[in-house]
């Protein structure tokens, strides 16, 4: 059941700042990304891909409200990031996938789905075919980068 998975994953995300102390560390250094928190983003992506979230909610009367809210969240986040605090001082916002970061991700995902629905992505793909090649090797690059990072960290650790 997707809602059961979502509830479990959301609960784990909520408890992630407290669960981080159970992660293995070197000399007490915290993890840059708390996997207990970031798994929620992965699960949201899987559910969004497997369940018709956008297709179900967009045609409803409140669909335009979700789009307006998404635009407001993205605009407010951009303004805050560019004008108010360009260099965040609290690393836990990123480390534990803070609620504002999560809301911004969901808003961007909603707007991207809207652009696909409106046909803009198809127009961009036809106008700029090289854009379609971006990300084709994304998983390979991510895994290779992770392996290289772990290898270098292992070699440089004293």
Residue 119: which region, alpha, beta or left (left: phi > 0; alpha: psi -120 to 50)?
A: left
Sequence ranges of the domains in the chain? 2-126
pLDDT at 158: 59
Evaluate the CA torsion angle 103, 47, 34, 134 in order and state its sign: negative
Give CA–CA dist 88/55, Å, rounded: 35
Predicted pLDDT at 129: 84
* Token reading at 151: 């290898």
Q: In Å, how far are 58, 66, 71 from 108, measured between CA atoms? A: 15, 11, 8
In angstroms, the CA 27 to CA 50 distance is 41
pTM score: 0.77
Given a cut of 70, the residues of the chain with pLDDT beneath it are 157-158
Q: What is the pLDDT of residue 150?
A: 84
Given a contact cutoff of 8 angstroms between Cβ atoms, the answer to whether 104 and 81 are in contact is no
């Amino acid at each position: 059941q997707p809602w059961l998975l979502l509830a479990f994953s959301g609960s784990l995300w909520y408890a992630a700042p407290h669960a981080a102390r159970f992660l293995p560390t070197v000399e007490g250094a915290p993890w840059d990304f708390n996997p207990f928190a970031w798994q929620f983003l992965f699960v949201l992506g899987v559910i969004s891909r497997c369940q018709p979230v956008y297709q179900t909610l967009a045609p409803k009367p409140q669909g335009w409200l979700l789009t307006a809210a998404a635009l407001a969240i993205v605009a407010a986040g951009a303004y805050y990031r560019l004008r108010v605090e360009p260099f965040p001082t609290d690393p836990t916002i990123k480390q534990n996938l803070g609620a504002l970061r999560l809301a911004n991700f969901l808003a961007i995902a909603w707007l991207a789905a809207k652009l696909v629905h409106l046909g803009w992505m198809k127009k961009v793909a036809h106008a700029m075919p090289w854009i379609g090649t971006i990300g084709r090797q994304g998983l390979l690059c991510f895994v290779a980068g992770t392996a290289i990072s772990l290898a270098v960290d292992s070699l440089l650790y004293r």
